[in-house]
């Protein structure tokens, strides 16, 4: 939700649908690719603890970058050009 909100705040209003679709598609792709890997790791370790610690560790760098990245001013709404 935070990524989608951040993306939509940074794009012009007439590009919001495309930006939302791209963000949603990327999220779906990551889930589809990571689920089998996570399942295999759970099967191999017979425990959720190492998997949860690993996924949590993978999330930290992205969260830190997002937290310190300077926010830009929201895009101004503009009407699409005719023609």
Q: What integer pLDDT is reported at residue 63 of this predicted model?
A: 87
Distance, CA of 41 to chain centre: 23
Mean pLDDT of 71-75: 66
Q: What integer pLDDT is reported at residue 71 of this predicted model?
A: 73
How many of the other CB atoms lie within 10 Å of CB of 48?
A: 12
Instruction: Give the span between the Cα atoms of 77 and 44, in whole angstroms.
Output: 51
pLDDT higher than threshold 70 for residue 74 = no
Residue 82 parent element (H or E): none
3-state secondary structure of 50: helix
Instruction: Give the span between the Cα atoms of 18 and 53, in whole angstroms.
Output: 34
pLDDT higher than threshold 60 for residue 83 = no
pLDDT higher than threshold 70 for residue 64 = yes
Mean pLDDT of 5-34: 90
């Amino acid at each position: 939700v935070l990524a989608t909100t951040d993306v939509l705040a940074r794009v012009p209003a007439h590009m919001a649908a495309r930006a939302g679709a791209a963000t949603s598609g990327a999220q779906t792709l990551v889930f589809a690719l990571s689920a089998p890997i996570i399942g295999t790791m759970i099967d191999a370790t017979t425990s959720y603890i190492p998997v949860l610690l690993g996924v949590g560790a993978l999330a930290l760098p992205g969260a830190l970058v997002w937290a310190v990245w300077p926010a830009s001013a929201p895009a101004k709404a503009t009407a699409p050009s005719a023609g």
